[in-house]
Homo-oligomer: A and B are copies of this chain.
Amino acid sequence: MSKYQHIKELAYDANMQLPKLGLVVFTFGNVSAVDRSLGAFAIKPSGVPYADLSIDQMVIVDLDGKTIEGNLRPSSDTKTHALLYSRWEKIGGIVHTHSTYATAWAQSQRDIPIYGTTHADHNTVDIPCAPPMDDAMIEGDYEYETGFQIMNCLQQKGMSYEEVEMILVGNHAPFTWGKTADKAVYNSAVLETIAQMAFLTEQINANVPRLKDSLIRKHFERKHGPNSYYGQ
């Protein structure tokens, strides 16, 4: 048995959650799971529909983006995953989807404003939307550059990947991550929910204000702070 079997299983299980959660159709998404001690991650193969996916098809890739094991080509977004794993030491999983509402915000090139406690339970800030890449990046090593675009956006906004586990890439779609592949999938579903609610909120009240600071702090701290006690 492959020494990568455990991350293949983690990646497979996490990938299979995406269609169940309504976050993907056909092949529009991918999840990966990393093993830091092995310096490798397992990722969905390219172009295989979720209905046909199996554990054995997961592709093993190192942190430079080179395939180590597997008969299929890895997801075309593999280099974005590789770059983020190599720079962000504490993440264990990454998810990319084209989920409907989050993608609509990405296409709109707007950050998702923080309008309520559903958002504040998970993030203290507006969900950032990285601007579309400049032409040199697009025409260069596109998927690696997508990773840099994500990192640059967080850096410019003074955000840490440990605090903010989700981003929109302008004109493209969302990426999320977390300490495990399961947590990254959870974050994708949370982001889609927040995106839908924020869309509706602005439709219902065009002049709605952002959430006030005291409420942001309270909700985030009861879930994430040193004295956290949250859990519905």
Contacts and interface: CB of A to CB of B under 8 A. Distances in A.
A230 B77 CA distance: 8
A73 to B, nearest CB: 7
Contacts of A198: 107
State how many copies of this chain the complex holds: 4
B109 A208 contact: yes
A231 interface: yes
A232 B201 contact: no
A118 interface: yes
Contacts of A48: 231
Chain A interface size band reads 35 or more
Interface stretch (A20-28, A83-91, A156-164): A20-28
Nearest to A77: B232
A102 B82 CA distance: 37
A203 interface: yes
A48 B199 CA distance: 28
Interface of A: 21, 25-30, 44-48, 73, 75-77, 96, 98, 100-101, 103-110, 115-118, 132-133, 135, 138-139, 142, 171-173, 186, 189-190, 193, 196-205, 208, 211-212, 214-215, 218, 222, 229-232
Given A26-B189, A76-B231, A76-B232, 12 more contacts: A25-B193, A28-B118, A46-B230, A48-B231, A75-B232, A100-B196, A100-B200, A104-B197, A107-B198, A115-B171, A118-B173, A199-B200
